[in-house]
Structure 1
Amino acid sequence: MQPPVFDKFQNEDRDFKSIGKSLWVYFAVMLAITMPFSYIDNGLSAIISIITILITIFYCKRKTKIQIPGSIYDLNCSVKELGKYFILMTGFSMAAILFISIISTVFTTITNLDIPQADFTFDFSSLSGWLFLFYVCLIGPIFEEVLFRGAILRTLNRYNRYFAIIASALIFGLFHLYLEQGAHAFVLGLVLAYASLKTDSLMVPILLHIFHNTLTTFTSFSMSLTTIDLLFRFACMIVALIWLSNHIKDLKKEYQEDPISYPFFSRLFLRFSFISWFILFILETVVSFIVG
């Protein structure tokens, strides 16, 4: 008698359903915690975000039954390679910012409306401002990476590598809800997911995410720092585009070794949980346009 053939798709419905529900678990917990408060400052927002994302991580890992080995928290790459990924992430991020800025300018010219952005105002005269800074630059990146490049990416990677990279990045973008921030997060998610799988490390995207948020935050405090930051980002963008042109054949070869031949995207994103999240994303965008 032939031994039973293992079917890697036998848990597809459970995994895809669990990931979609995880987004709604995050939203539901966030809503439940914030409802009792008439006013939420940045410090309280940081605490609520920590509690909410921890619950979401626990739910996602439990439902997908993904096992993340402790070795994944090792760096698994040299400092030089980590620097390369940081330059690539910063460069592609700058390309995304330029593209979004062009779209935003065209949109504003036509409609006289500004594309809404998330407000990251730091008030260092209070503990609340410092707590929010600590969350944005350290705690937030760590927990987001454990969820998105840990539980979600590793779960999707059971099925196909490039599907996992693209899908997890899209989910990461949707998670941010704001249109401009979400589009930028999608590009960051692509690089973070690629680097994480390439090095088989969760520490790599954690450090990259921390570096990115810290650089973005502190260079916004001074016009001179902002100018230096822009020059650095433009230089990184040139390097990233040169890298892409030199490695496009290698990327195609990698894809050909494990092509996306199964309709993974439709199987994942045409579920009710994701369709309703797309609707929430659109409604949030529309409302933010109206409210300003």
Structure 2
Amino acid sequence: MEDQEKFKLDATSVCKMLLLYLLIPSLMVIFVGALLLASGYNEYDSTMMASVLCLSAMSIYIIQHYPKRMDVTLPYQKPVKSFTRQIFTRYIMITIGITYLISLCFNLFTLLVQNQIEFHTIDMSMGNQLLINIFNVVYSILLAPLFEELIFRGLILEKLKPYGTRFAILTVSILFALFHGNLPQTVPLFFFSIVLCKMTLRSESIYPAIITHIIFNTIGTVTSFISNIYIAALIGWVMIIFMGYALIKVIKYLRKHPFKNREKEAWRVRDFFHNWAGIIFLILIILNILTSIELL
């Protein structure tokens, strides 16, 4: 009974934190964006810069204050010796490969329904000012991976780990995926998070996940600038190799570790959201996802 009460308190604590992480930057953007607009920036640049500044500020606040509030120690230590460079390289290949594979499958699905449904994503295209473009690239490649890993694979994963690693991985991955707010990102990022969670637990350190996330975001950012057909083709072949490798590894893993007690895990995830903060968080996130879907 005491464990159940503690689980409920911990779940509420995590959901409250995520609710603040969702709402406060959104409210701050209104005021910061207005100030930037008044300073002479155009509407797009003002909104983009305000979003980055406000989300960064809230991320830093959470990383600084919530570990103590939630009685969690972030895994800043070096990876264990058994987590070798070869193992790390394999994890990187699997992370990138499985994410791109799922993303490819979802893109094929969108092609099938393109006359009925349109899925909108966040516009991360470059603006007209070089300084703001550099600012956004630095955030996408360095700051976003750092903040997201420390909060999701650091703080939340460590908090939920005592209730079972499988439950913790599943819940963190659902939260991380939903937080991005649109299906084209939500679906592949769920699998992206699963591999990063397993990497963090195996290495007993947050650094491998941060590095992998930085590599992943760097690939996505750099490829958006490539216009040379030969370089694009080379990257495409590398991604095909990664996807094939990831698929083989995932199939082998599932055969070796069949997913048992699925119903128990599903009920526990449901219980995680069974509190006022969790319900409000889910409602807001689902509404956000629904607004990104347009019926034609």
TM-score normalised by the chain length of structure 2: 0.85
Counterpart of 1:3 in structure 2 is: none
Superimposed CA distance per residue, residues 225-276 of structure 1 (whole angstroms, 9 cap, x where no aligned partner): 4333222111111111111232334333xx679x957942121023332332
Match for residue 44 of structure 1 among 32, 43, 50: 50
Match for residue 226 of structure 1 among 216, 226, 232: 232
After TM superposition, the structure 1 = structure 2 runs for residues 1-292 of structure 1, keeping only pairs within 5 Å, are 8-9=3-4, 11-36=6-31, 37-38=33-34, 39=43, 40-58=46-64, 60-71=66-77, 73-74=78-79, 77-109=83-115, 111=116, 113-123=117-127, 125-223=129-227, 224=229, 225-252=231-258, 263-289=267-293
Q: CA deviation at 1:173?
A: 0.6
SS of equivalent residue, structure 1 residue 222: coil
Aligned counterparts of 1:208 and 1:124: Cα–Cα separation in 2: 30
Among the aligned pairs, what percent are the same residue?
21
Q: Which residue identity does 2:62 align to in structure 1?
A: T
Contact 1:75–1:203 under 8 Å retained in 2: no
Q: CA RMSD in A?
A: 2.7
Contact 1:18–1:64 under 8 Å retained in 2: yes
Which structure's relative contact order is higher, taking Cα pairs within 8 Å and 6+ residues apart? 2
**The 10-residue stretch of structure 1 (94-103 or 275-284) with the greater mean CA deviation from structure 2:** 275-284
Aligned counterparts of 1:94 and 1:150: Cα–Cα separation in 2: 24
Contact 1:104–1:114 under 8 Å retained in 2: yes
Q: Which residue identity does 2:63 align to in structure 1?
A: I
Q: CA deviation at 1:160?
A: 0.5
Aligned counterparts of 1:149 and 1:290: Cα–Cα separation in 2: 32
Pick closer, same or farther for the CA change 1:141–1:12 going to 2, 3 Å.
Answer: same
Ranges in structure 1 where 5+ consecutive residues have no aligned partner: 1-5
Superimposed CA distance per residue, residues 41-86 of structure 1 (whole angstroms, 9 cap, x where no aligned partner): 4333322221022223345424421122542x54753222211111
Q: Which residue identity does 2:10 align to in structure 1?
A: D
**The 10-residue stretch of structure 1 (265-274 or 55-64) with the greater mean CA deviation from structure 2:** 55-64
TM-score normalised by the chain length of structure 1: 0.86
Runs ≥4 residues deviating over 6 A: none
Pick closer, same or farther for the CA change 1:226–1:260 going to 2, 3 Å.
Answer: farther
Q: How many residues align?
A: 282
Superimposed CA distance per residue, residues 193-246 of structure 1 (whole angstroms, 9 cap, x where no aligned partner): 111111111001100100000011101111434333222111111111111232
SS of equivalent residue, structure 1 residue 122: coil
Ranges in structure 2 where 5+ consecutive residues have no aligned partner: 35-42
